[in-house]
Amino acid sequence: MDNEALIDSFSDFKYEKNIDRVSLMAILEESIRCVLRKKYDSSKNYDIIVNPDQGDLEIWRNRTVVKDGTVKNINKEIELSHARKIEIDFEIGEEVTEKVEFKSLGRRAILALRQNLLSKINEYDNTNTYKKFKKKIGEIINVEVYHILPKQIIMRDEEKNEMVLPKKEQIPNDFFHKGDPVRVLVKKVSWRDSKPFAILTRKDEDFLEELFKLEIPEVSEGVITVKKVARIPGEKAKVAVESYDDRIDPVGACVGMKGSRIHPIVRELKNENIDVINYTSNTQLYITRALNPAKISMMEVNKEKKYVNVYVKLEEISKAIGKRGQNIKLASQLTGYKIHIFRDYPYEDDVELTEFSDEIEPKIIEKFHHLGLNTAKSILNYKKKDLSKRTNLEEKIITKIVTILKKEFEEELNT
């Protein structure tokens, strides 16, 4: 193999791996120096000129002229008589530069160079691929099903890079054929057998959050923030959202007119039922919203131990718990509280607080709602001082409200 043949061979690698010119030159030079070091123990006295675009490769060796018979290192020194055959006026101590034909290095050196080139190019390509994968962690990408295996699916992106979607990261209802386009989230990247290895997911909560960013402009623009996502993949999900613009209803914007915005996400998740709720820093109200559609009579919150006792009417228990316990499980994940559901025995014949809106101001009713007190008897269960302290309302106002509520039940008893 001569210099030009080597360049032609190397150009094939360049176009196949799409390597930039600067990296190409650096890899080729380092590979040649590696061969020189193996053959002569050093490559410092060599100048290597590489111009892949022109097909040029020149190797020049620099040696110091020494007295005949005193050469200690043939790679770095040349006898005066030999130097004067190159140029007649060389003197001892001067430097002689000679062009080295690549084939003169020997067949083994050429084979070693080609092997070294392949190794470094693959290393370069794998490192670049790893960096690309790393930048995409947490992002949704479009891939194509390449090979279906029992425990995983091999996917390919637009650049034909292979990635893996394990069975445990698939939605239970996922079913793919070879060639199918699929949207996935890049979960993590690692190395396996010296190659970058990207793990994909469709089950992660982040996948649902990123779908919101793709499908809902206000979320991608940052006007609406997804605060928390809780999922049972393929079954049910709850998403808490918050708007930084008071003019925008975050739930309405995410659901869209007649569900136009949420439906594409539901279809992507194989008909996963998605509840979108308005986030609030008020713990009682947040838990109340998270347990929707169940109506809560009252609750007892322990913020230190992160648990809450929720009391509901008999007919609301199944709603609070949900099918196969999904509603209470997702509400717990969403709020971060362990939720215990109890039958509301003291409030069997209770009355919703909103029924008293003619006599109690809506703002005051809202205050009680924020505390998880949604019914008349849930309020009557507390002492007036405790209610005044929890609501920041004057005792005379609390007394008036209690009187109104008690009157309701006294009238029922008299009828």
Domain assignment present for 312: yes
Distances (CA, A) of 398 to 62, 249, 363, 365, 376: 99, 32, 13, 12, 13
Contacts of 312 (CB under 8 A, 6+ apart): 294, 295, 296, 297, 319, 320, 341, 342, 343, 344
pLDDT of residue 11: 56
- Residue 103 host element (H or E): none
Domain assignment present for 136: no
Residues 175 and 255 in one domain: no
Measure the CA–CA gap between 63 and 53, rounded to whole angstroms.
Answer: 30
Measure the CA–CA gap between 35 and 30, rounded to whole angstroms.
Answer: 9
Domain assignment present for 134: no
Residues 116 and 49 in one domain: yes
Residues 172 and 278 in one domain: no
For the segment 308-322, the average pLDDT, to the nearest whole number, is 89
Q: Is the pLDDT of residue 315 over 90?
A: no
pLDDT of residue 54: 60
Residues 147 and 28 in one domain: no
pLDDT of residue 1: 47
340: exposed, middle or buried (Cβ count in 10 Å: 0-12, 13-18, 19+): middle
Boundary-marking domain end, from 346, 372, 395: 346
Contacts of 178 (CB under 8 A, 6+ apart): 145, 146, 147, 148
Confidence of residue 7 (pLDDT cuts 50, 70, 90): low
Looking only at the bridges linking them, the beta strands covering 140-148 and 273-278 are unpaired
| Dihedral (CA of 183, 189, 192, 194) sign | positive
Measure the CA–CA gap between 354 and 156, rounded to whole angstroms.
Answer: 56
The least confident of 122-126, 221-225, 267-271, 291-295 is: 122-126
pLDDT of residue 53: 60
Residues 167 and 88 in one domain: no
Q: Which residues face 228 on adjacent strands?
A: 240
| CATH number, position 263 | 3.30.300.20
Domain assignment present for 255: yes
Structure tokens given for 342: 């109890």
What's the pLDDT tens digit per position in 74-132? 889 888 898 888 888 888 999 988 888 777 777 777 777 777 777 887 888 888 889 99
Measure the CA–CA gap between 342 and 225, rounded to whole angstroms.
Answer: 33
The number of folded domains in the chain is: 4
Residues 112 and 18 in one domain: yes
Question: Percent of the chain having pLDDT more than 90?
Answer: 41
Domain assignment present for 119: yes
Length of the chain: 415
Question: Percent of the chain having pLDDT more than 70?
Answer: 91
Confidence of residue 18 (pLDDT cuts 50, 70, 90): low
pLDDT of residue 52: 59
Specify the pTM: 0.68
Q: What's the gap between Cα 159 and its chain centre?
A: 20
What are the start-end ranges of the E strands in 122-248? 140-148, 152-156, 162-166, 181-192, 195-201, 224-232, 236-243
For the segment 63-83, the average pLDDT, to the nearest whole number, is 89
Residues 34 and 54 in one domain: yes
Boundary-marking domain end, from 129, 153, 178: 129
Domain assignment present for 245: yes
Residues 186 and 210 in one domain: no
Q: Is the pLDDT of residue 206 over 90?
A: yes
Residues 246 and 183 in one domain: no
- Per-residue HEC secondary structure of 295-314 comes to CEEEEEEECCCCEEEEEECH
Cβ atoms of 47 and 57 within 8 Å: the answer is no
pLDDT of residue 102: 72
pLDDT of residue 322: 92
| CATH number, position 183 | 2.40.50.140
Range of the domain at 365: 350-414
What's the pLDDT tens digit per position in 327-385? 999 999 999 999 999 887 655 567 888 888 888 888 888 888 888 788 888 888 788 88
Domain assignment present for 137: no
Angle at 307 between CA 305 and CA 311, to 5 degrees: 145
| CATH number, position 121 | 3.30.1480
Residues 175 and 114 in one domain: no
Residues 196 and 213 in one domain: no
Measure the CA–CA gap between 87 and 85, rounded to whole angstroms.
Answer: 6
Domain assignment present for 299: yes
Confidence of residue 55 (pLDDT cuts 50, 70, 90): low
Measure the CA–CA gap between 63 and 77, rounded to whole angstroms.
Answer: 5
Place of tokens 């005044």: 388
pLDDT of residue 392: 87
Cβ atoms of 31 and 10 within 8 Å: the answer is no
- Residue 338 host element (H or E): strand 338-343
Work out the end-to-end distance of the chain between its first and last CA atoms, rounded to an integer number of angstroms.
110
Residues 191 and 234 in one domain: no
| Dihedral (CA of 116, 49, 61, 63) sign | negative
Top pLDDT among 24 and 327 is at 327
Contacts of 301 (CB under 8 A, 6+ apart): 283, 284, 287, 308, 337, 372
Cβ atoms of 185 and 157 within 8 Å: the answer is no
Top pLDDT among 408 and 52 is at 408
Boundary-marking domain end, from 346, 364, 386: 346
